[in-house]
Amino acid sequence: MSMLAAAPTTQASVGVRSAGANHLAAKQSRGIVGAAAAVRGNHGKPAQSARISAAARRSSRLSVRAQGSTFGRLFRVTTFGESHGGGVGCVVDGVPPRLNITREELQYELDRRRPGQSRITTPRNEEDSCEILSGVGLDGVTLGTPIAVLVRNKDHRSQDYGEIAVAYRPSHADATYDMKYGVRAIAGGGRSSARETIGRVAAGAIAKKVLKEIAGTEILAYVSQVRDVVATGVDHETLTMEEVEANIARCPDQASADKMIEAIDKVRVRGDSCGGVVTCIVRGCPRGLGAPVFDKLEADLAKAMMSLPATKGFEVGSGFEGVNTTGTAHNDEFYMDPDTGLRTRTNRSGGIQGGISNGEIVELRIAFKPTSTITQAQQTVNREGVEQELKARGRHDPCVVPRAVPMVEAMVALVLVDHLMMHFAQCNLLGRDDYSDLVQGNMKSLYDPAHIGGAGGASAGGATMSVKDMSAAFSED
C-alpha cells in the first residue's frame, strides 16, 4: 500500500465502535460460528472456509485506525514519514476549492524551519524542497481534493546513531516509544524528530493563505526568551515578519537577540542545550471562533502547541501571572471604538473569552525544554535493562526555539482555519438571501440563465478561466 493511500482517518475513530456496529459484529460472529459448524465434515474437522473466516474475524478485531497522526476536523492534516526515511510530508484534506496557492508559498515557510540555517541550529544540511503531488491544478488553483506534499530526506547520517540503538537518551522519546510499540525508528528518532513538523509547516502555509484572503489575518511568532534572557519592548500592534527574521535568534528586540545568541553559544560549545519561550500573536482573528465547553479555542490551541516536539508549557493572555491579580485588576473593560465597534481597553484575556475569539489580538506563549540529545556523558539504561553511560552523537539543535517559530505559526493557523470553517458551517447557514450556489452548485453557467454561454464572466461561473483560455492552456502542442 502506498504511503499516501494509507492516510489514516480521524483520531476519534481509535478504539470506538457504535452500538450498531457491535450488534452487526455479533451477528457476523454468530454467522461465522454457524458456518463453521455447518461445514465440519469428516471427523469433525473444520473446512478451509471456516478457518479463513476465523482468521478474518481475528484480523478485524485487531485492526486499529489513526494513531495520532491526524489533526483537525474539517481542515484535516495527516503527517507522515520518519527523520531518516525516504521523506516526510503531509496530506491536507478539506482545503476549500478555488484557492490560489503556489509551491513557492509553501517553500517560503519550509525554508524558515529548515536545518542548517546558522551556527545555533542543527548543522544537518537539508534543502527541504517540497513537491505538491495532488490537489492543486496546473493553473495553481486548489481542487477541493486532498493536497499531498512531499519533502525528500537527503542528508541523513544513520551511522551517528549507533550508541542510541540500544541505550535510551535521557528525557527523549526513545524509551517511551519502546514501551508503547516494542519497536522504534532508531536513526534520527523517527516520528519523535522535529523533522515530522515539515508536514505541519507545509499545511500551515495553506491555512495561512485561507485566513489572509478571508479576514486579512496575520500570524506572527517570535522568540521571547532563551534561558534567563527575556525580550523587552516588543509592540504586538506593529510587529512585522521582517523584524522577526532580522537575526538568527528570531527575536525582534536586537539587544535581547544578541544576548540570546550568546547564551545558546555557551551551551553549544560544551555539548549541552537550553530551552526558551516562543510568543505568538494573531492580528485580525475573526470574531466568534471557538465553541463552549470542550471545543474552546484556547483548548484546541493548547493541544496544537503541546503536540509540537519539546513543548512543556502553554499560556494564553495573562496566563499564570493572572493568579497574582484581582478581578478588578484583571478584567478587560469594554468600550465602543468609533471605527471598529466593540473593543477592550486591555487584553489580559489574550483575545479569547469564554473559549471564543473576541477580535482582539490573540496572544500565546509556549515553553520549549532544552534539547534532550546532547554530547555530554549521561547515565542511562539500555534495552536489556542494564545501566550504562551514554555520550550521544549526531547533529542536533542546541536550542529549538529559533526553528520552532514557523512551527508554532503553522499550528495556530491550522486551528484557526479549522474553527473558521466550523463556525461558518454552523452559524452562517441560515439567514442568507441567496442559496442558489448551495442548492444548485458552484458552476453558475450550468443553471443560471444570466451566466449560461459565458455571459456572466468566468469568475461568476465558478471557474477561474474562460472555456477558451482553459482549452488553450491545457491543449497539447
Q: What's the pLDDT tens digit per position in 366-420?
A: 999 999 989 899 999 998 999 999 988 767 789 999 999 999 999 999 999 999 9
CB-hemisphere CA count at 13 Å for 461?
A: 17
Q: Which has more pLDDT, 141 or 183?
A: 141
Q: Supply the pLDDT for residue 124.
A: 67
pLDDT band at 83 (very low <50, low <70, confident <90, very high): confident
Contact at 8 Å (CB) between 192 and 172? yes
Spatial distance between the Cα atoms of 148 and 475, rounded to a whole number of angstroms: 25
pLDDT above 50 (res 11) = no
C-beta of residue 191 within 8 angstroms of C-beta of residue 82 = yes
pLDDT computed for residue 193 by the predictor: 85
Q: Is the pLDDT of residue 45 over 80?
A: no
**Amino acid 381: pLDDT:** 94
β-pairing verdict for 334-337 and 311-316: unpaired
pLDDT tier, 442 (very low <50, low <70, confident <90, very high otherwise): confident
What is the average pLDDT across 346-369?
98
Give which of 55, 63, 368, 400 is closest to 250, Cα–Cα.
400
Instruction: Return the C-alpha cell found at 62.
Output: 485487531
Q: CA-to-CA distance for 368 and 274, rounded, in angstroms?
A: 9
Pairing verdict, β 362-368 and 311-316: antiparallel
- Whole-structure pTM value: 0.82
Range name among 31-40, 117-126, 192-201, 265-274 with the lowest pLDDT average: 31-40
Phi/psi at 218 (5° precision)? -115, 130
Q: First-to-last CA distance in the chain?
A: 36
Q: Which long-range contacts (CB under 8 A, 24 or more apart) does 123-128 make?
A: 123/395, 124/155, 124/156, 124/395, 125/155, 126/153, 126/154, 126/155, 127/154, 128/198
Closest CA to 278 of 436, 403, 115: 403
Categorize the per-residue pLDDT at 67 as very low, low, confident or very high, splitting at 50, 70 and 90. confident
Per-residue confidence band for 105, with pLDDT thresholds at 50, 70 and 90: very high
What pLDDT is stored for residue 357 in this prediction? 98
Q: Which residue has the higher pLDDT, 431 or 46?
A: 431
Q: For residue 40, give Cα distances in angstroms to 37, 50, 57, 137.
A: 5, 8, 18, 57
* Per-residue pLDDT, 50: 40
> 379 - beta bridge partners?
389
- Cα–Cα separations (whole angstroms), residue 87 to 33, 84, 115, 204: 45, 8, 15, 18
CA distance 355 to 359: 13
pLDDT exceeds 90 at position 92: yes
Confidence of residue 241 (pLDDT cuts 50, 70, 90): very high
Contact 337, 354 (CB under 8 A): no
